[in-house]
Amino acid sequence: MAGWPVSSVDWLVCHQANQRILTAVARRLGVPGERCVSHISHVGNTAAASIPLALAWASESLWFRAGDRILLSAFGGGLTWGSAVLRWPDLPGAVGCAGAGAGTAAAAESGESVARGGLWSFN
C-alpha cells in the first residue's frame, strides 16, 4: 500500500514475540535476514515496547541512515495486526543518522562498532 517494492525496504522491524516468527515473516516477505532487526535473544518478548526498543537499539548502533526505508509490523492477540512504513530522518548530530558528527566520532573513538548490517544478537 505504500508503493514500495519489498526489495526497496532497507530494514524490517517486527514485534519481537519470538525468533521463529521473526525469521518466518522475513522469509515470507523475501527480506534478507541481515536487514531484519532482532534483539529478542537479549530482551525477550517486551510486548508493545518491542518495536520502539528495537528501533532505539538499531539507531544507537548506527544501523540506520537518513532516508532508509523501514517497515514496521506488529501483531497481537485476537488476530490483531498493523504495519507502517517510514523513512529514517536526517537529524544532524543525532545518533544513527547520516552526518551524525560527534556521535559517530565518539563511538569510533570509544571502540564501539559503527558497522551496519547483520542480525543483531548478544550471542
CATH code, domain with 73: 3.40.47.10
Nearest by Cα to 100 from 44, 61, 73: 61
Greatest alpha-carbon pair distance for the chain in Å reads 48
- What distances in angstroms separate CA 120 from CA 22, 76, 90, 102, 114, one per listed residue? 12, 23, 23, 24, 13
- Indicate whether 2 belongs to any domain: no
If one counts the domains in the chain, the total is 1
Q: What confidence tens digit (pLDDT) does each residue in 6-63 have?
A: 999 999 999 998 999 999 999 999 999 899 999 888 888 888 899 999 999 999 889 9
pLDDT of residue 94: 58
- pTM to 2 decimal places: 0.71
pLDDT of residue 95: 52
- Indicate whether 67 belongs to any domain: yes
- The 3-class SS string of 19-82 reads HHHHHHHHHHHCCCHHHEECCHHHHCCCHHHHHHHHHHHHHHCCCCCCCCEEEEEEEEHHHEEE
Bridging pattern class, strands 36-37 and 11-14 = parallel
- Indicate whether 103 belongs to any domain: no
- Domain of 42, in residue numbers: 8-77
Name the percent of the chain lying above pLDDT 70: 74
- Indicate whether 56 belongs to any domain: yes
Q: What confidence tens digit (pLDDT) does each residue in 54-109 have?
A: 999 999 889 999 999 999 999 887 888 899 999 999 867 655 444 343 333 333 33
* Distance separating alpha carbons of residues 29 and 72, to the nearest angstrom: 13
* Distance separating alpha carbons of residues 109 and 46, to the nearest angstrom: 32
H or E, element range at 104: helix 102-110
